[in-house]
Amino acid sequence: MNRKEILEILNIHRPDEMQDLSRRASSQLKDTLGTRVYYRGLIEYSNCCSRDCLYCGIRRSATGVQRYTLSREEILNAADFAAEKGYGSLTLQSGESGTPAAVDFARDIVGMIKERTRSVYLPDGLGITLCIGEFDKSSYRRLFEAGAHRYLLRIESSNPDIFHRIHPPGDSLKRRISCLRNLKKIGFQTGTGVMIGLPGQSTEDLADDIEFFRRENVDMIGMGPFIPHNGTPMGSEFQGSRSFPATGERLHLSLKMIAAVRLAMPDVNIASTTALQTLHALGREMGLKFGANVLMPVITPGEYRKQYQLYDGKPCMDDSPEDCAGCLAGRVGSTGREIAFNQWGDPLHFFTRNQSKKGGAHGYFRQS
Ligand code: 5AD
């Protein structure tokens, strides 16, 4: 799929064209990876953050956020819950601190989770994705050696002007990209993503984002609509401003991005993110129907969820991990798809890119 075709998709408007796009993306997914949906139980284990991103509800200078870091025991309990539910993989997410202590903490919990979740179903324990921000290469290596095998680091936008408009001075898109490359070199299954519907972001910019994903040869994509948070600089700017796309437009753009990525990079994993559900009650189901194959049930203990509000209207705030389990099962069921329990669900792309690097002919899909 070339840039012109990507742009054609991003510029679709008519409902019949949207339906056709959903059919194309679903059929590509079915042919490449199958129709099953993989779970990554999401533990938002700390909202302490040293960054001051202009869109984010837990940015350093946000007031009214009670900062927390879950205890090891709380994290391990959540991991046990995921293992018992057959989720297969976890995503450990936190605000960014970039300190050696943060690496030690993450390394310790990864090691403990791997150890205690080995079972007949999961001989290597739960699959673990980390989403804890920018670190130097040696820190990433220590986290990999502890047993985390996936890492997500969104670039938020591949357009340097947009990146710099939504981040404080000192943040660097180049540094973010160099982190992504380090993660890949170390051997992580590597994911990135962008926010969709940012002020001043055109469909050309979004097509560039997809070309960036392709050029960097990443394995996983997590993208979602930008959603203003009242207590942030971009949230205040949003009030009454016409430079932000309306809700429906951001939802549709997000679905078109998911489908375009599925068609442009057929063997990557794509998450249907919670942010989609903020724009529409059935947003996450829609993401699945436009080519996504990963869902992230929140398993952060209930009392902390309200303090991890990246954007306004984040759903599931009053729910327990058990509520989310039941709710998501229903949502997947409604799309006619099946959940792949007790499997890691690694992205096929990771294996094919490594095979082609070695000159081998056969990729394989590691199931667990
Ligand atoms: N709207 C949408 N997504 C957001 N994120 C942070 N704040 C917002 C917001 N206001 C996303 C960023 C970040 C991820 C953890 O959450 O893309 O990388």
**Residue 228 CA: which ligand 1 atom is closest?**
10
Query: Best mutation site among 239, 311, 312, 314 for ligand 1, i.e. most ligand atoms within 8 A of its Cβ?
Result: 311
**Which amino acid is it at 275?**
A
Q: 173: Cβ below 6 Å to ligand 1?
A: no
pLDDT score at 302: 87
- Tell me how far the alpha carbon of residue 354 lies from the centroid of ligand 1, in angstroms: 30
pLDDT score at 358: 57
Q: 154: Cβ below 6 Å to ligand 1?
A: yes
Q: 151: Cβ below 6 Å to ligand 1?
A: no
Half-sphere exposure of 314 (CA within 13 A, CB side): 20
Collect all residues with Cβ–Cβ distance below 8 Å to 131 and sequence separation of at least 6: 91, 92, 93, 94, 151, 152, 153
- Tell me how far the alpha carbon of residue 229 lies from the centroid of ligand 1, in angstroms: 10
Q: Which two tokens stand for residue 283?
A: 């947003």
Nearest protein Cα to ligand 1, atom 3: 226
Question: What does the alpha-carbon distance between residue 232 and residue 303 come to, in Å, rounded to a whole number?
Answer: 23
Q: 55: Cβ below 6 Å to ligand 1?
A: yes
Sign of CA dihedral 218, 224, 226, 230: negative
- Tell me how far the alpha carbon of residue 310 lies from the centroid of ligand 1, in angstroms: 6
Q: 166: Cβ below 6 Å to ligand 1?
A: no
Question: Whats the size of the chain, residue-wise?
Answer: 368
Tell me which residues of the chain have a pLDDT lower than 50. Answer: 359-368
Q: Which two tokens stand for residue 262?
A: 């599925």
Across 42-74, b (16+ Cβ under 10 Å) vs e yields bbbbbbebebbbbbbbbbeebeebeebbbeeeb
Question: What does the alpha-carbon distance between residue 174 and residue 157 come to, in Å, rounded to a whole number?
Answer: 12
Q: 156: Cβ below 6 Å to ligand 1?
A: yes
Question: What does the alpha-carbon distance between residue 50 and residue 135 come to, in Å, rounded to a whole number?
Answer: 13
**Which amino acid is it at 17?**
E
3 state SS of 25 = helix
